[in-house]
Amino acid sequence: WPRSSLVTKSLLSLQTEQTDKQMEANGPKEIIERPKWDNKVQYLLTCIGFAVGLGNVWRFPYLCQTYGGGAFLIPYCIALVLEGLPLLHMELAIGQRLRMGSVGVWNSITPYMGGLGVASLLVSFLVGLFYNMILAWILWYFFHSFQNPLPWRDCPVNANLTGYVTECEESSPVNYFWYRTTLNISPNIETSGSIEWWLVLCLATAWCLVYICFIRGIETIGKAIYVTATFPYLVLTIFLIRALTLSGAADGLVYLFTPNWETLKNPKVWLDAATQIFFSLSLAFGGLIAFSSYNPQKNNCERDALIVGCVNSLTSLYASIPIFAILGFKANENYNTCRNMYWLNHLNATNPMEVESLNLKTCDLQTFLDQVRYLFLYSNRSDLNSASGTGLAFIVFTEAVIKMPGSQVWSVLFFVMLFSLGLSSMFGNLEGVLTPLLDLHMVPPWLPKEIFTGLICLTSFTVALIFTLSSGNYWLEIFNSNVGSMPLLIIAFFEIISVVYIYGINRFNDDIEWMSGHRPNIYWQATWRFISPFMLFAVFVAYVVVEAEKRPTYNTWNPNYVHFPLADVLYYPEWVYVICVLLSVIPVVSIPLVAFYHFGRFLKKTIMNRHNQNPYACTSPLILVSIFCSLVLHHESFMKLILHVNGACRCKSLCVCEGVCMCSLTMCYVPVF
């Protein structure tokens, strides 16, 4: 056939046409009834709400303060530009073009990468389990914030009413309320303890609220997001105004932003910056792909990615200011209390020798500010932004709010803000589970979507009961550290490889030009092709090396520990360590399994065809070419490869390219002649 008669098309366009034909045959119901956002603001607020989570309030300030204050912003911004924004743009674009969930998107690009969608689905499900447990803790504190005085202000009296509880006296009221009253925590992970009924009630309430907001999909999410995405900014602004008027606020801000340029020589700073921006944007969960699939295809997804990415990072910086202003106030209060010990001054004047023998430390403001770092460090040992700051939310801030006038009001506002942040992030996690299942028609037609959503929430609630045990906090840390770290890096790496090197970057550029009206510039080209894949691979290798160098440990709260109230650091038992490995591997094992499954089916079909005496069977040596091309599938070089192959074959379903027929292929790359 004449070369000029061949019109090559984008795989994405061909897949869309094929889907359209299938839908016409089966009924156009799915395309017509697919929901859409009411307006662009609704979509942007949902994406921002999913990206801006609890970690923006408590993880970013910790990293910024730990790694040289303002100096940390340099690797953070570099990671945002070279890693975060390119991946965000790619996910929004691919979901918007194909209008499917994560499983459907990657299966459409190539069936061999269909496991990527399954991996994202599993990660979203597992992360949603412990993320909603954090919302349950927040609800528990919210319910107790209406008491006067706040229940974590004073130690409770002991059973015989002769004094205070020893555990509380040896630690502090806020620590006692968190570890004993709230968690009733066991001394180690092997001591499971019983299910705490108050945590079960709070967890059930959290899942009920998520279900109510999610019951009709984006129809109800779109309404709830106006509150859950905007209210945290209102509360942060109120806190900012109030915090800046507190004594010592300037000390906290200076402590936060004073740059220490020497920290930039530490490789771990760059590793944490890269992982923070990656997890903060909620990449590879599948939620962003699902949200963008409800967009009209003619939409500027590049602008959307820039808005969501920049708002997310600016929110982290904005939240750090009131948080550290309040912590500076707390440090200043402790410093003044230390200086105002008149009895000690009197004792020093009358018995200086006895005072000297006590080896008392001098009151120093810097020391009290450094205590903030210790409290951060104690509870920020994981890499995912969801659970890495429980010490800030439930210990540091609750202690600071006690000393603020109108403490009940500030406590209520703070925990409502945290719940709003977590709820909007839960929308994305649940969407990353439901949308792929619905798009793949895995839900029986007779089962209403509302009932199916309720079954997913009920299943998640049942599994999450493990976190309501006395050892639940230890298990939550295990899920947080293993499910939401390495699997996401692997998924994101294969996502960008699939789009750039399997699907083809030029075809992807054509699709973006068709959607937005202009082709991606050199910045997007360079990051997609080289920089972002290299950074993801480097971060993954560095993460594995860092984790392999140390044996996993965890902090326990044990009143019988010799140095109590300091944490008793223990090694994980062998069986727990095996569970940690499984949680890291199980979500991503679907990637090679699905690829091998499709390859096995192809080999079986090829062997069957070779031994089949049917006159329509393919007998050409081109089968070997088909095997190779099925491995690389829709890569652009496939077109060039088949032009130089000659041979005769007979196929029941014929795809022809310049006179050469292609057997055993799932899709034609050019029009059939």
- Decide: 591 and 494 in contact? Cβ < 8 Å: yes
Interatomic CA distance for residues 653 and 662, integer angstroms: 9
**Six token digits for residue 554:** 């965890």
* Pick from 590, 568, 512: nearest CA to 120: 590
Strand pairing partners for 662? 655
Residue 349 sits at φ, ψ, to 5 deg, of -80, -30
Count of C-beta atoms within a 10 Å radius of residue 273: 24
Binding residues for Na(+): 49, 51-52, 56, 280, 312, 421, 425
**Six token digits for residue 187:** 């001394």
* Pick from 305, 534, 270, 487: nearest CA to 384: 487
Interatomic CA distance for residues 614 and 227, integer angstroms: 64
Residue 568 sits at φ, ψ, to 5 deg, of -90, 110
Instruction: Say which residue the tokens 């990072």 belong to.
Output: 313
How many angstroms from the chain centroid is the CA of residue 332?
Answer: 35
**Six token digits for residue 515:** 């959607």
Please report the sign of the dihedral spanned by the C-alpha atoms of residue 430, residue 586, residue 120, residue 524. Answer: positive
Count of C-beta atoms within a 10 Å radius of residue 411: 23
**Six token digits for residue 325:** 């202003």
564, HSE (Cβ side, Cα atoms, 13 Å):
17
Count of C-beta atoms within a 10 Å radius of residue 317: 15
Return the DSSP state at 258: -
The SS3 call for residue 233 is helix
Q: Distance of CA 658 to CAs 147, 222, 335, 642, 671, Å? A: 80, 50, 83, 9, 11
Binding residues: 49, 51-52, 56, 280, 312, 421, 425
Instruction: Say which residue the tokens 């200011």 belong to.
Output: 321
Interatomic CA distance for residues 566 and 554, integer angstroms: 13
Spatial neighbors of 338 by CB under 8 A, at least 6 apart, are 363, 368
Sequence length of the chain is 673
Interatomic CA distance for residues 333 and 396, integer angstroms: 13
For residue 596, which amino acid is it? F
* Pick from 88, 75, 71: nearest CA to 311: 88
142: left (phi over 0), alpha (psi -120 to 50) or beta: alpha
What is 179-228 written as a DSSP string?
Answer: IIIIS---SSTT---PBPHHHHHHHHHHHHHHHHHHTTTHHHHHHHHHHH
For residue 231, which amino acid is it? F
Residue 398 sits at φ, ψ, to 5 deg, of -65, -30
Pairing mode of beta strands 568-571, 553-556: antiparallel
Interatomic CA distance for residues 170 and 155, integer angstroms: 10
C-alpha angle with apex 222: 219 to 227, nearest 5 degrees?
140
